[in-house]
Amino acid sequence: MSQDISIKKGLSINIKGAAEKELKKIPLTKFYAHNLDDFHLLIPKLEVKVGDYVKRGQPLFYSKTNESIKFVSNVSGYVKDIVRGERRKILNIVIESDKKDSIVTSNIKPISKLDSESIIKSLLSSGCWPFIKQRPFDIIADPTKKPKSIFISCFDSAPLAIDYKFILNDRLDHFKYGLEVLKKLVSGNLYLGLNSSQSDLAKQLTNFNLNYFNGPHPSGNVGVHIHHIDPINSGEVVWILNPEDVAIIGEFFETGQFNPERTIAVSGPPVKNPKYYRLIIGAELKSVLSSVDLEEGSELRYINGDVLSGKTVSSNGFLGFYNNNLSILREGNNYKLFGWIPFINNKTPSIYKTSFSWLSNGKPKEYDTNLNGEERAFVATGEMESVFPMDVYPMQLIKECLIGDIEKMEKLGIYEVSPEDFGLIDYSSSSKIEAQSIIREGLDYLYKETQ
Amino acid sequence: MNIRSIVDNLKKPFEKGQKLEKFYPAFDAFETFLFVPNHTSRKGAHIRDAIDLKRVMITVIIALLPALFYGIYNTGYQYLIQTTQSFTAVDAILHGSYKIVPMIAVSYIVGLSIEFLFAILRGHQVNEGYLVTGLLIPMIMPVDIPLWMVGVSVAFAVVIGKEAFGGTGMNILNPALTARAFAFFAYPTYMSGNQVWVSEASNVDGVSGETILGMLAAGNSPEQFGVLEMFVGSIPGSIAETSTLMVLIGAFILIYTGIGSWRIMLGCVIGAAITGLLFNLWGANALMSFDWHHHLIVGGFAFGVVFMATDPVSAAQTVKGKWIYGILVGVLCILIRVFNPAYPEGVMLAILLMNVFAPTIDHYVIEANVKRRENRLKTQLRTA
């Protein structure tokens, strides 16, 4: 059953400052938060108010559309603050840790006695459910809609790629247990995507349906795996998870305790000692940054996630719910004299051979956040197709999303894509088209009109 | 940073709420000509490629330069060789520059003025597309066309051919070819015949200005030109299209940098070669029996294929579509050459015609993709 798929289109971006395989554990610090921005389209309903005491694993809020989806506290302590933005929209729920780590423990039956209904129930009440996202729409899965399959990508091909094998090293048993639990939900249709360099990991996972993907980024994107193995048709749903979240789920089903430990790679050109850190989901950035050695002298951008699809976070913000990396870039807010003329500005790499940067393609390079141009009218110069390894026409889909023609969006395959699949299109577009945000808006519009 | 601070000072009156706010797009065009702006990514991917439209366009201009320089030389050469006086290469270049530089100036002044006007009226940035169009237009005109005709053609191409459709990226037809087609149909005596292809041919007795394709269409044989001359380009024709060699250098630049579509170029050559070969077998008139590989190196074929057919806006945009589009441009070009003696050069009309059909080609290519998806859903439903 295992398939070996070679991805031809795409682009591997080699950035300076990839994380070394070295893990540092960070003890409990003072503040932890949920960034509500991480849960796209979620309308939260609070179960706590400022000053309440919560244990680790105790619900803080739930989804208005499905009250059974609970979001629980990652640490024990007091609700310190509920930060609201425009129109009283909740932005953050901040917990002040009491550092005692009191835990809610649930009674969980051994796996052989669990059926899919009881598994879903436990996932929902334990706070593990939000780890399960669905395609289409790339939002938290709807527990009432049975998926046709579950996909987990076990490797990362994005710039400054993280090594899931390293992350899972000491949690492999939990990971495998989690996989067994999930397998029960889809009567076996659980697919793992691996790279052929991961034979060690593959040997440990012989019980599961493994598929191999090789080639440039986005070969590690779960959306690409779904597209090639079990593409989503209109009306179908596929669930996706990150490997470390599967381990958290596995640990919960083994021990009855929600243990939201997160391993993050802190990396990027300004990081002098890029490596992995283990801490609790939603920790303050400060708690990590205090151990990170950063080059001084320039304004920096902190990103929850990878540099193509992650979200900007301020240095006094909090780690995201899903990401395994904190990427750091220099802000490129400087002018470049005649930088647009070919072979003048050779420091900034290009997919076109209009700078000498391609001569040293093997070497990691400095990248910053400069747009390298201004947004322009859509000119179909062909980069989009060359970095998009799906049988979908990206430019035409983007245009239909801009217009908002639902019928055409469906015909062109909107259900098969998620914004992160368009990360390289953002990167490479000569007209500086914001493809990810156009696709996100298109999906949101489709969701609003059809769900 | 001195230039930067001067620019920053100049910028002040153009900023929001200031006197010259309306003219900001014009100022922006000058500023971004000097500097890649300090804009950083706000949403989407945090890092961006060095490519932008300015760099795309300047690369095309660089690719055009060999053909342009040769065109300037050849303009002088074609004239001087037919006069009895002795001359040097410098004389040829001087004569060519004297004729061609004013044409380029008129093209840029008229075209960019209109572009700036539309940018200011619409409040958007000045798009860089005209930098290429503005150079292409004089390069594909006959050398003796009056400057005012260049100006009128440019205005027609930019206003009707481009801005009427919504500006850069939205036009159906290649703007430079639109300008040429406009001049061709509006001022036919200046754009065709045997008196216009060599400098001063209509003014000086004894100077003939006929192209190879024109001779063939008239039933004469172009004996005085060998294959090498056709390839190097020392033959009469529109200003910069004669040298297949120089065009190939440009093609190399475009393909090597990745800016131009090699699929379209190769498609055109395949289409033209096969069609030419078939006509060689038929051989009913002089143009039919003109060697198929000679078809590829005379007239505007090479220039049109490399610089016009590949225009990303007016060409087909899907990969399969580019192949179909390219091959059909090649086929049509030879068909028009062979069957229509009124238009001895077919490449302009072939490309314009395929520009019109490009969206249709793309439509069917995409439709096939949609069908695949629908069929997948149907089989899914059947097995479920």
For residue B32, the model assigns a pLDDT of: 82
A441: how many CB neighbours lie within 10 A of its CB?
A: 15
Contacts of B62 in chain A (CB under 8 A): 342
In this complex, do B38 and A367 lie within 8 Å of one another by their Cβ atoms?
no
Average pLDDT rounded to a whole number, residues A195-219: 93
For residue B309, the model assigns a pLDDT of: 95
User: Which residue in B48, B125, B262 has the most chain A C-beta atoms within 10 A of its own C-beta, making it the best mutation to test that interface?
Assistant: B48
Query: What Rg, from alpha-carbon coordinates, does chain B have?
Result: 23
User: Which residue in A9, A229, A371 has the most chain B C-beta atoms within 10 A of its own C-beta, making it the best mutation to test that interface?
Assistant: A371
Contacts of B34 in chain A (CB under 8 A): 337-338
In this complex, do A307 and B377 lie within 8 Å of one another by their Cβ atoms?
no
How far does B275 lie from chain A, in Å, by closest CA?
Answer: 28
In this complex, do A351 and B258 lie within 8 Å of one another by their Cβ atoms?
yes
Q: How many CA atoms lie within 13 A of B208 on its CB side?
A: 9
Q: HEC states along chain B?
A: CHHHHHHHHHHHHHCCCCCCHHHHHHHHHHHHHHEECCCECCCCCCCCCCCCHHHHHHHHHHHHHHHHHHHHHHHHHHHHHHCCCCCCHHHHHHHHHHHHHHHHHHHHHHHHHHHHHHHHHHCCCCCCHHHHHHHHHHHCCCCCCCHHHHHHHHHHHHHHHHHHHCCCCCCCCCHHHHHHHHHHHHCHHHHCCCECCCCCCCCCCCCCECCHHHHHHCCCCCCCCCHHHHHHCCCCCCCCCCCHHHHHHHHHHHHHHCCCCHHHHHHHHHHHHHHHHHHHHHCCCCCCCCCHHHHCCCCCHHHHHHHHCCCCCCCCCCHHHHHHHHHHHHHHHHHHHHHCCCCCCCHHHHHHHHHHHHHHHHHHHHHHHHHHHHHHHHHHHHHC
How far does A291 lie from chain B, in Å, by closest CA?
Answer: 24
In this complex, do B35 and A337 lie within 8 Å of one another by their Cβ atoms?
yes
DSSP-based three-state secondary structure for A333: coil
**What are the pLDDT digits (tens) for B253-293?**
999 999 999 999 999 999 999 999 999 998 877 778 888 88
How far does A11 lie from chain B, in Å, by closest CA?
Answer: 11
Against a cut of 0.80, is the pTM above it?
yes
How far does B318 lie from chain A, in Å, by closest CA?
Answer: 8
For residue B384, the model assigns a pLDDT of: 61
For residue A359, the model assigns a pLDDT of: 76
In this complex, do B257 and A379 lie within 8 Å of one another by their Cβ atoms?
no
Residues A227, A415: Cα–Cα separation, whole Å? 10
Amino acid at B271: G
User: Which residue in A381, A395, A424 has the most chain B C-beta atoms within 10 A of its own C-beta, making it the best mutation to test that interface?
Assistant: A381
Question: A198, A247, A200, A237: which is closest to A219 by C-alpha?
Answer: A198
């078809």: which residue's tokens?
Answer: B295
**What are the pLDDT digits (tens) for A47-87?**
999 999 999 999 999 999 999 999 999 999 999 999 999 99
For A6, list phi and psi in degrees, rounded to 5: -105, 125
In this complex, do A370 and B40 lie within 8 Å of one another by their Cβ atoms?
yes
Query: What percentage of chain A carries pLDDT values higher than 90?
Result: 80
Residues A354, B50: Cα–Cα separation, whole Å? 9
DSSP string, A211-251: EEEESSTTTT-HHHHHHHHSPPPTT--EEEE-HHHHHHHHH
Cβ atoms of B106 and B154 within 8 Å: the answer is yes
Q: What is the mean pLDDT of chain A?
A: 92
- Return the exposure string of B269-284: e unless at least 16 CB atoms fall within 10 Å of the residue's CB, then b: bebbbebbeebbeeee
Residues B250, B260: Cα–Cα separation, whole Å? 10
B14 or A261, which is more confident: A261
How far does A400 lie from chain B, in Å, by closest CA?
Answer: 13
For residue B19, the model assigns a pLDDT of: 78
Boundaries of every domain in chain B: 54-369
- Chain B, residues 186-225, CB within 8 A of chain A, namely none
In this complex, do A391 and B59 lie within 8 Å of one another by their Cβ atoms?
no
Residues A419, A435: Cα–Cα separation, whole Å? 8
**What are the pLDDT digits (tens) for A309-324?**
999 999 999 999 999 9
For residue B220, the model assigns a pLDDT of: 77
Residue B160 has pLDDT above 70, yes or no: yes
* Chain A CB within 8 Å of residue B35 CB: yes
User: Which residue in A374, A387, A392, A417 has the most chain B C-beta atoms within 10 A of its own C-beta, making it the best mutation to test that interface?
Assistant: A374
In this complex, do A428 and B51 lie within 8 Å of one another by their Cβ atoms?
yes
**What are the pLDDT digits (tens) for A23-53?**
999 998 899 999 999 999 999 999 999 999 9
For residue A193, the model assigns a pLDDT of: 95
In this complex, do A342 and B41 lie within 8 Å of one another by their Cβ atoms?
no
In this complex, do B168 and A376 lie within 8 Å of one another by their Cβ atoms?
yes
* Chain A CB within 8 Å of residue B5 CB: no
Average pLDDT rounded to a whole number, residues A193-214: 93
Residues A14, A333: Cα–Cα separation, whole Å? 22
A345 → closest Cβ in B28, B50, B369: B50
Tokens at A192, concatenated = 């793992």
Contacts of B40 in chain A (CB under 8 A): 301, 331-333, 368-371
Q: pLDDT confidence of A1, banded at 50, 70, 90? A: low
């303050």: which residue's tokens?
Answer: A284
Residue of chain A nearest B58, judged by CA positions: A341
Cβ atoms of B361 and B319 within 8 Å: the answer is no
Residue of chain B nearest A392, judged by CA positions: B369
In this complex, do A350 and B170 lie within 8 Å of one another by their Cβ atoms?
no
* Top-ranked range on mean pLDDT: pick from A120-129, B163-172, B203-212: A120-129
For residue B264, the model assigns a pLDDT of: 96
Residue of chain A nearest B54, judged by CA positions: A340
Question: B271, B288, B277: which is closest to B332 by C-alpha?
Answer: B271
Average pLDDT rounded to a whole number, residues A173-194: 92
Average pLDDT rounded to a whole number, residues A230-234: 91
A372 → closest Cβ in B52, B312, B370: B52
Residues B313, B321: Cα–Cα separation, whole Å? 13
How far does B313 lie from chain A, in Å, by closest CA?
Answer: 6
Is the alpha carbon torsion for B247, B253, B256, B261 positive or negative? negative
Question: B201, B297, B232, B309: which is closest to B263 by C-alpha?
Answer: B309
- Chain B, residues 138-167, CB within 8 A of chain A, namely 167
Contacts of A429 in chain B (CB under 8 A): 49
Contacts of B259 in chain A (CB under 8 A): 352, 354, 381
Cβ atoms of A41 and A250 within 8 Å: the answer is no
- Chain B, residues 109-138, CB within 8 A of chain A, namely 125, 127-129
User: Which residue in A8, A353, A354, A416 has the most chain B C-beta atoms within 10 A of its own C-beta, making it the best mutation to test that interface?
Assistant: A354
Q: What is the mean pLDDT of chain B?
A: 89
In this complex, do A327 and B44 lie within 8 Å of one another by their Cβ atoms?
no
For B144, list phi and psi in degrees, rounded to 5: -90, 10
Residues A276, A161: Cα–Cα separation, whole Å? 12
Lowest-confidence segment of A160-164, A352-356, A364-368, A439-443 by average pLDDT: A352-356
For residue B84, the model assigns a pLDDT of: 75
Residue B1 has pLDDT above 70, yes or no: no
How far does B68 lie from chain A, in Å, by closest CA?
Answer: 19
For residue B339, the model assigns a pLDDT of: 86
- Chain B, residues 58-97, CB within 8 A of chain A, namely 58-59, 62
How far does B319 lie from chain A, in Å, by closest CA?
Answer: 8
Tokens at B229, concatenated = 């001359």
Tokens at B82, concatenated = 């037919």
Tokens at A339, concatenated = 């930088």
Residue B352 has pLDDT above 80, yes or no: yes
In this complex, do B376 and A231 lie within 8 Å of one another by their Cβ atoms?
yes
Residue B76 has pLDDT above 60, yes or no: yes
Lowest-confidence segment of A280-289, B12-21, B174-183 by average pLDDT: B12-21
In this complex, do B318 and A385 lie within 8 Å of one another by their Cβ atoms?
yes
* Chain A CB within 8 Å of residue B370 CB: yes
Residue B9 has pLDDT above 90, yes or no: no
In this complex, do B372 and A337 lie within 8 Å of one another by their Cβ atoms?
no
Contacts of A391 in chain B (CB under 8 A): 369, 372
* B365: CB partners within 8 A, 6+ apart: B316, B318, B320, B321, B324
B168 → closest Cβ in A329, A357, A377: A377
A335 → closest Cβ in B4, B47, B125: B4
**What are the pLDDT digits (tens) for A401-446?**
999 999 999 999 999 999 999 999 999 999 999 999 999 999 999 9
Tokens at B22, concatenated = 């309306």
Would you call the peptide bond into B102 cis, given omega within 30 degrees of 0 as the criterion?
A: no
